Amino acid sequence: MSTTQSIKQRFGIIGTSPLLDRALDTAARVANSELTVLITGESGVGKENIAKIIHHLSARKHNQFIAVNCGAIPAGTINSELFGHEKGAFTGAVNDRKGYFETADKGTIFLDEIAELPTDTQAFLLRVLEQGEFIRVGSSKVEKTDVRVVAATNVDLEDRVRKGKFREDLFYRLNTVPIRIPALKDRREDINLLFRKFAMDMAERYHTDPVRLDEQARQLLENYRWPGNVRELKNVAEQISVLSENRLLTAEELVQFVPNIAKRHLPIVAPDTEGRNGSGEGFHEREILYKFLFEMKADLNDLKNLVFELVRRNDLTMPDASSYRGLQAPVFPNTGNFTRHEYDGSEPVYPSIRPDEMPDSYRPIIIDKQEKEYQKAEVVEASLNLFDMEKELILKALKKHGNRRKEAAADLGISERTLYRKIKEYELD
């Protein structure tokens, strides 16, 4: 029999979830060491049970195990509860008192809700963990203790550290061995097993037949998110066992006991900024598709204009496009802003550009489309002289901004003083 299975049988752990098995295996491995353990998980998942397993599998099992809920002790008295106090240390301290760390010497102390510790108590706890020393409230004598500390929390301690609400050095000292207990919604295969276990316990206690669920009721049970985890499931099982007249529960009867069990937390369509839902006239998927299509149309128009401009500047002639009609893009209206247009169902118009429609100055670039040869062209190399290029850029910038030197300098990325010097240097006055 595996170690995990033997632990489940010995301590009455119900479940087959791999996440639960991993947590139990880690607890068993760390039990014989003296390392500090930090157990994390939502409220109600059974963190104290894991702490007890660690204690009973350790060499300290014959000594005391003390569980302390740090969130339930007032900040003014928690130091006295943990470390003890001397007589007369404060009002009401009529006798000396041992604290939990002194009482649990050679044993294990379980600090639940460790994130609720006050800042000064965190410093005292850090000294206990590092040196095994503490001082009673109202005393100056250093006391020694040999205690195994197992801490637990249901909040994100790292987030508390970032916000300055928990000491970083204490966090890393506690987090020597982290154990994560899965929430009940993450181990749905165990929900029905746990319900049957709790129902059987109630039946034995009150000498009745155990409550059972039909298929639909079982599905409702397994699909519920269980915010209270195992504790909530146990309460539901006990409530149904006592109040239900039928021993076989249907889905309808189960909803009567747990009204929220039929609710589903699925994503919904979020309202827009004006509060309209998915059925309103907001900016929805259809409008997004229209916008995308018209932006594509604008890009095609720009590409078409670029081709015609290249043809015009290079004194070329467009070929007869009648044989390439299938490759032509449809004509779109040239709209600068996004406007909603309805498609009327007509076929798109594909233009054919005829040579006699082009200016006479155009010369054909394709001599013979059967031979697919190109006309020889004269290649003119641009000047690569830095002096000429800089001079040309300055002239273009001045022309662009109407000889306004401040705007031209900003466009060129230089100071106005540098531009004045360059104009004088290149004799551009």
Render pLDDT for 213-258 as a digit per residue (tens, 0 to 9): 999 999 999 999 999 999 999 999 999 999 988 889 999 989 988 8
CATH number of this structure's domain 3-182, picked from the four choices 3.30.470.30, 1.10.1370.30, 3.40.50.10800, 3.40.50.300: 3.40.50.300
Confirm whether 186-262 and 386-425 share one CATH topology: no
Strands 37-40 and 373-374 come out as unpaired
Domain 186-262 has CATH 3.60.9.10: no
Render pLDDT for 299-311 as a digit per residue (tens, 0 to 9): 888 888 777 777 7
Instruction: Identify which of 65-74, 90-99, 358-367 has the greatest average pLDDT.
Output: 65-74
List of residues 6+ apart from 206 with CB closer than 8 A: 241, 242
Say if residues 384 and 392 touch (Cβ distance below 8 Å).
no
Sheet containing 65-69: order of strands: 65-69, 108-112, 148-153, 37-40, 177-180
Q: What is the mean pLDDT of residues 181-186?
A: 93
Domain extents for the chain? 3-182, 186-262, 293-374, 386-425
Confidence of residue 381 (pLDDT cuts 50, 70, 90): low
Give burial (CB, 10 Å; 0-12/13-18/19+) of 153: buried
> For a pLDDT cut of 90, what percent of the chain falls above it?
49
Name the CATH topology of 386-425: Arc Repressor Mutant, subunit A (1.10.10)
pTM metric for this prediction: 0.60
Q: At which residue do the structure tokens 């070329």 appear?
A: 316
Q: What is the pLDDT of residue 76?
A: 85
CA distance 134 to 125: 8
